[in-house]
Amino acid sequence: MEQRILGKDLNNPLTLGHQQASLLGTRSHADLQVSTLGLGCMGMIHGYGDARDKKERIELIRKTHDEQGVTFFDTAKCYGSYTNEELVGEVLEPIRNEVKIATKFGIALKDFKQALDSRPETILASVEGSLKRLRTDHIDLYHQHRVDKQTAPEEVADTIAQLIKEGKVLHRGMSEAGPETIRRAHRVCPLTAVQSEYSMFWQ
C-alpha cells in the first residue's frame, strides 16, 4: 500500500529524538508530522502466510522506531481479527508520545467473514474498540478502509468530524476511494491522507 500524507516534504524536519529520523525526512499536513517511511504492520499477523513469533514481531517494531527513526505505524482492526491492533498497542504503549498510529474502520467482522460497513453506529463502536486495543486515548489517523456504497460519504465524514471534536480521532483518511468520493467526503470533513494499492498488478 502507498499512503500519501497530503502535504509536502519538509526541508528541516523537527527533531524526533532519533538521528535517523532526520535522515528519513518527514511528511507533514496540518499538525500531523510523520517519518517519510512508515511501517505497515499487517503482514506480521495477517495476509502473508503464518504469523511470526511474537517476540520477533515486537523486536521488529521497536527496532524500526529506535534504530531507523520510523514514527508512523499502520494497522487495522480486521488484520488478524483484532490481534494486529493489540500487538501494535502493546509495543507502542511505552513510546506512545513519540509515534503516530493509523488504523482503519469500515470492514466489519461478522461470523469470521469480512463485510463492508461504515454506518455511523458501526464507526462509533469501532473507534472505541480500536482505542482499547491500541492502549491509547486517541487515534492519529483514522482511515475508512473501503468505501461502503450503502452509506453516503458525507454521512461517514460527518461521523468522523464528531469523533475529531471529541478528541478521539485527530485526522482522517480514506483507502481505495475514487476521486469523486474523495471530493464529496473532503467537503464535509477535510482529509489528511489517502491510501491506495501501490502494486502495478493491482492498478
Categorize the per-residue pLDDT at 11 as very low, low, confident or very high, splitting at 50, 70 and 90: very low
Mean pLDDT of the chain: 83
* pLDDT tens per residue across span 78-134: 877 788 999 999 999 999 999 999 999 998 777 767 789 999 999 999 999 999 999
Could you tell me which residue, 169 or 57, shows the higher pLDDT? 169
Of 54, 22, 50, 49, nearest to 35 (Cα)? 22
Residues in the chain: 203
Helix/strand/coil (H, E, C) string of 55-85?
HHHHHHHHHHHHCCCCCEEECCCCCCCCHHH
pLDDT of residue 126: 94
Categorize the per-residue pLDDT at 31 as very low, low, confident or very high, splitting at 50, 70 and 90: confident
SS3 (DSSP) at 36: coil
Domain 2-196: CATH architecture, name and number where available? Alpha-Beta Barrel (3.20)
pLDDT of residue 30: 61
Enzyme catalytic residues: 79
Report CA-CA distances (Å) from 20 to 8, 10, 24, 77.
19, 15, 6, 30
Name the packing angle between helices 120-134 and 153-166 (round to 10°). 40
pLDDT of residue 121: 96
**Considering the chain, what percentage of its residues have pLDDT values greater than 70?**
78
Could you tell me which residue, 142 or 12, shows the higher pLDDT? 142
Q: Could you tell me where the beta strands, DSSP code E, fall in the chain?
A: 2-5, 8-9, 26-29, 32-35, 39-40, 72-74, 100-105, 107-110, 113-116, 141-144, 172-175, 193-196
Categorize the per-residue pLDDT at 13 as very low, low, confident or very high, splitting at 50, 70 and 90: very low
Beta-carbon contacts of residue 21 (< 8 Å; ≥ 6 apart): 13, 15, 35, 69, 71
Categorize the per-residue pLDDT at 61 as very low, low, confident or very high, splitting at 50, 70 and 90: very high
Q: Is the pLDDT of residue 18 over 70?
A: no
